Amino acid sequence: MKQSAIAEVVAPVVEQCGLEVDRIEITSAGKRSVLRVFLDGDGPDGGGPSLDEIADATRALSAALDESPATGNAPYTLEVSSRGTSRPLTAPKHFRRNIGRLVALTLAEEKVTGRITGADDEGVTLDVDGTERRVAHPEIRKAVVQVELRKDVDLGDVGTDDDDEE
């Protein structure tokens, strides 16, 4: 199984689904191969592909690969996923798709952690401890989304019945 042949089959199918190929990985797993296709795209809210979009692309990719000689005769397992939060942000579109998320940037002289409040082709705007900071893309050596476990709902009132007190 050659990655270039797989890419020729995968790219147009993914494009028809309104997504982009982030990367393709092929690894051996005994007598089988594992073909991993990582997808990206704006998604319905501009923050990356939805689960439904990934599922639709998976079905389309599976059918196209089954019909193509690119996979050869050897058995393989197809895995399709989004690019994931652990992948570095390397292009302006990655920053735009992560507006609202906390990121750690490594710059030439310092490390900065802040929430992305804006992004365009020239750079990214962060909220760093309540202060707005603009960083141009060429200044960024590495950028990674920080996974947050946060509570979006105040659970303090859950289980109480305030309506009965009227």
For residue 87, the number of C-alpha atoms closer than 13 Å in the C-beta half-sphere is 16
Per-residue pLDDT of the chain (166 residues; tens, 9 = 90+): 788 999 999 999 999 999 999 999 999 988 899 999 999 998 877 778 999 999 999 999 999 999 999 988 889 999 999 988 788 999 999 999 999 999 999 999 999 999 999 999 999 999 999 999 999 999 999 999 998 886 564 444 444 444 444 4
Residue 48 has what pLDDT? 82
Query: How far is it, in rounded angstroms, from Cα 40 to Cα 83?
Result: 6
Identity of the amino acid at 103: V
| Tokens 């030439």 belong to residue | 108
Q: Crossing angle, helix 3-16 and helix 51-67, to 10 degrees? A: 130
Which pLDDT score, from 0 to 100, does residue 150 have?
67
Instruction: Answer whether 115's CB lies under 8 Å from 129's CB.
Output: no
pTM of the model: 0.74
Q: How far apart are CA 38 and CA 83, in angstroms?
A: 5
User: Which secondary-structure segment (H or E) carries 136?
Assistant: strand 131-136
Task: Set out the domains of the chain in order of their start, with CATH numbers.
Answer: 3-82 (3.30.300.70), 92-145 (2.30.30.100)
Dihedral of the alpha carbons of 15, 142, 46, 151, in degrees to the nearest 10: 130
